[in-house]
Structure 1
Amino acid sequence: MAEHGTVTVELDATPEELFAIVTDLESYPDWVDGIVEVEVLEVADEGLPLSSRMTADVKIRTVSYTLSYEYEYPTVVTWTSEPGGDVKLIEGSYRFEPIDDNTTSVTYELTIDPGFPVPGFMLRSAQKAIIAAALDGLRAQTER
């Protein structure tokens, strides 16, 4: 059973600054709560990651999964899990829409299907916590 969520916040940063932060995958363990390790597996000619292997502590267990990425610089970063990981499906995106010179509307969208039995309330709680951790961490990165 998949759980989907979307949250939009305003951050004091440009889309270009936000794009640079979220495409620096190897820094995720430093600012995204729950991400334990990231290994970039493939990089495009322009230096953007095309795939990565992530390990996350999701409280009930540690899971690893491989994500593939697509980009529309500087406004969209999307990812989709590849078959074979500990999680059946992870799809998500960051979308950056400028509001003014230094304020951006950030929409974070996430769909998760763990592929193993999890009570619905726990899955919803975990999905909300993942979104909150990502956006709180992103906000903290912009304030550095």
Structure 2
Amino acid sequence: MADRTSSSITIKADRAEVMAVIADLESYPRWASGIREFTVQETGPDGRASLARLTFDGGPFSDTVGLSYRWEGDERVRWELVEQGGVVTGLHGSYLLTEEDGGTEVTYELAVDVRVPMIGMVRRKAEKRIIDSALKGLKRHVEG
């Protein structure tokens, strides 16, 4: 899983406000298209999720997976697959938040492996669609 897809967007809010929305995993179904359910199973000392279960509906694929999270203050969060689903066999992602004049630049990186054979170009295109949709939903939710 060497190849990652990434994209960025600028949100008119401070970094702490944006990270608070990102850290509220259980609210994702309200603003992130394709996310049906997010359940926090364990939290760390900072009160943020350390282990969660995600159910998504991504067009031709629906799945439920287990993810572990590592939080770096309000600057970055990384997650990785700890429980495979029926389709997803590997997953690594992160949000990096950088303060800018008048807002926060949010960079989302994602790499997904699936059981179904898929050429790299098609996989990256699917990752890009997931990332862009998530970033737009995050921006609408935070700024709205």
The alignment's TM-score, normalised by the length of structure 1, stands at: 0.91
C-alpha contact (below 8 Å) 2:79/2:93 kept by paired residues: yes
| Number of corresponding residues | 143
Match in the other structure for 1:9: 9
1:109-138 Cα shifts (integer Å, max 9, x gaps): 111111322354542332111001110011
Match in the other structure for 2:128: 128
Unmatched 5+ stretches in structure 2:
none
Match in the other structure for 1:78: 78
Unmatched 5+ stretches in structure 1:
none
Q: Please tell me the root mean square deviation across aligned C-alpha atoms, in Å.
A: 1.6
Distance 1:79 1:29 in 2: 18
For 1:99, the aligned partner's letter is E
C-alpha contact (below 8 Å) 1:11/1:139 kept by paired residues: yes
Q: Say if 1:38 and 1:77 are closer, same or farther in 2 by CA, change over 3 A.
A: same
Asked if 1:48 is matched to 2:48, the reply is yes
Judge which range, 131-140 or 114-123, deviates more: 114-123
Q: How far 1:8 moved relative to its partner?
A: 1.6
C-alpha contact (below 8 Å) 2:67/2:83 kept by paired residues: no
Match in the other structure for 2:103: 103
C-alpha contact (below 8 Å) 1:3/1:112 kept by paired residues: no
The alignment's TM-score, normalised by the length of structure 2, stands at: 0.91
Distance 2:120 2:72 in 1: 33
Instruction: Give aligned-pair identity as a percent.
Output: 36
